Amino acid sequence: MEDVTRRTILKSGAALGAAGAIAAVAPATPWTWSPANSVPGAGTGADPRGVWDPECDDLVADLSRRGDIPKVNKLLKHWIHNGQPLPAGLPPDLRDFLTRAKALPDWADHGKLAAAAQFNEKRGTYLGVIYGFVSGMLSTVIPQEARAVYYSYGGAAMKDRISKTAKLGYDIGTANAFAPDGEHIVTCVKTRLAHSGVRHILPRSPYWQNSSDEQIPISQADMMVTWHSLPTSAMRQFKKWGVPVDRTESAGFLHSWQLTAHALGIKDEYIPASWAAAESQAAQVLDPIIEATPEGIKLAHMLLDLGANLDLSLVSRGVLGALTRFMLGDDIANDLKIPREPVWSPLLEVSWGPYVAVREGVLQAGMPPKAYWLFDEFLRQFVLLYMSELRLPISIQIPVMNNPKYR
């Protein structure tokens, strides 16, 4: 079969043509978010639903045609740290791309990154929960993302897929995330390559073709939707819980995610310059699209079952379902067919506020010590569940196949 890439779809005379392909991707709602609100403060204003990552996409397509991807995956397996030299033997075009891709942009601010490290140290417990059961489960009700995951290889290896996703959240939370001895930049660049791999092969899946209204998966808009499910959703939860956030640390946290977006291949003109800009963009690209799909429902239940064979006594399917319901609300939980848990759901509803208040030093009493310990122990075991795979080397690779059950 002819390679299906951004170039072949947009250039093929048998296809809709460039305008038709973009129209098939972009819904009728016009794109109105202004690049004046972005990090550079300027841009083309192009609808991100019709923009992908052409430099990386074309490179991965060329690697595939040359049969280089298995060799590249093997060589990159042990490329881990930001300052680590690139492995010998890489194809020259890939080496040139990686050299550019791993470089921080000129707008990187190390003072803000230091503030982000302080924020992550203080709020790491909350962020672990948010990344897992706000961001992680929210991904199952983002239709395009749920379909892309389900029909790509990730849908056949959810434990492996979630461990790689967890690595992104883990790495950005480390004090040295962007330093030479850190790993976050490399994790982002490898994820960027993996996204291009999905764009290259997922359009071959007739199951994905029949379920998706996109010609090519993981557009710039799709990446920004996922981005908002992480830092924007985190700040929304902090506000909802009444967690005080230092202004300088908040700006640093945002900056770390701005740099993450850049390293993932998101164009600077789509990266919000402020939390207000992020909220205005999320209101257009994230909030209106939330919807459960058959693929998303299946993925949600796969995630709830991940701890079934692990020795984590408090992290049962019922507890994880209750936390999902509490974090995302009854409507989303009902749409995902997650039942209300008779013990943990009421406990979360009654005790979470006092628990947060105690942790923040607002209250000194009002919550039974045993209940407080149960929350702390649950969160500790939760982190163990979602980070358990991090005790082994995790290799983010360019995929070479779709979900084998749905090819």
Interatomic CA distance for residues 128 and 386, integer angstroms? 9
Among the residue ranges 152-166, 334-348, 371-385, the one predicted with the least confidence is 371-385
Query: Could you list the residue range(s) of the whole structural domain that residue 222 is in?
Result: 52-289
Examine the domain organization and report whether 108 and 244 are in the same domain. Answer: yes
Report the percentage of the chain scoring pLDDT > 70: 79
Q: Which of 237, 256, 289 is the last residue of a domain?
A: 289
Contact 185, 82 (CB under 8 A): yes
For residue 83, the tally of other CB atoms under 10 A from its CB is 11
Higher pLDDT, 376 or 138: 138
Residue 354 pLDDT exceeds 70: yes
Examine the domain organization and report whether 210 and 352 are in the same domain. Answer: no
* pLDDT band at 328; cut points 50, 70, 90: very high
What average pLDDT is seen over the chain? 84
* pLDDT band at 384; cut points 50, 70, 90: low
Examine the domain organization and report whether 118 and 243 are in the same domain. Answer: yes
Examine the domain organization and report whether 273 and 364 are in the same domain. Answer: no
Examine the domain organization and report whether 284 and 325 are in the same domain. Answer: no
Give the pLDDT of residue 371. Answer: 59
pLDDT digits (tens, 9 = 90+) for 66-77: 999 999 999 999
In-domain check, residue 396: no
Bridge partners (DSSP) listed for residue 152:
402
Among the residue ranges 7-21, 172-186, 233-247, 255-269, the one predicted with the least confidence is 7-21
Examine the domain organization and report whether 315 and 380 are in the same domain. Answer: yes
* pLDDT band at 309; cut points 50, 70, 90: low
Examine the domain organization and report whether 222 and 258 are in the same domain. Answer: yes
Examine the domain organization and report whether 218 and 254 are in the same domain. Answer: yes
Examine the domain organization and report whether 189 and 219 are in the same domain. Answer: yes
Examine the domain organization and report whether 92 and 196 are in the same domain. Answer: yes
User: How confident is the model over 340-361, as a mean pLDDT?
Assistant: 85
Among the residue ranges 43-52, 131-140, 151-160, the one predicted with the least confidence is 151-160
As a three-state string, the secondary structure of the chain is CCCCCHHHHHHCCCCCCHHHHHHHHCCCCCCCCCHHHECCCCCCCCCHHHCCCHHHHHHHHHHHHCCCHHHHHHHHCCCCCCCCCCCCCCCHHHHHHHHHHCCCCCCCCHHHHHHHHHHHHHHHHHHHHHHHHHHHHHHHHCHHHHHHHHHEHHHHCHHHHHHHHHHHHHHHCCCCCCCCCCCHHHHHHHHHHHHHHHHHHHHHCHHHHHHCCCCCCCCHHHHHHHHHHHHHHHHHHHHHHCCCCCHHHHHHHHHHHHHHHHHCCCCHHHCECCHHHHHHHHHHHCHHHCCCCHHHHHHHHHHHCCCCCCCCCCCCHHHHHHHHHHHHCHHHHHHCCCCCCCCHHHHHHHHHHHHHHHHCCCCCCCCCHHHHHHHHHHHHHHHHHHHHHHHCCCCCCCCCCECCCCC
Examine the domain organization and report whether 171 and 277 are in the same domain. Answer: yes
User: How confident is the model over 174-195, as a mean pLDDT?
Assistant: 96
Global pTM value: 0.87
Examine the domain organization and report whether 69 and 113 are in the same domain. Answer: yes
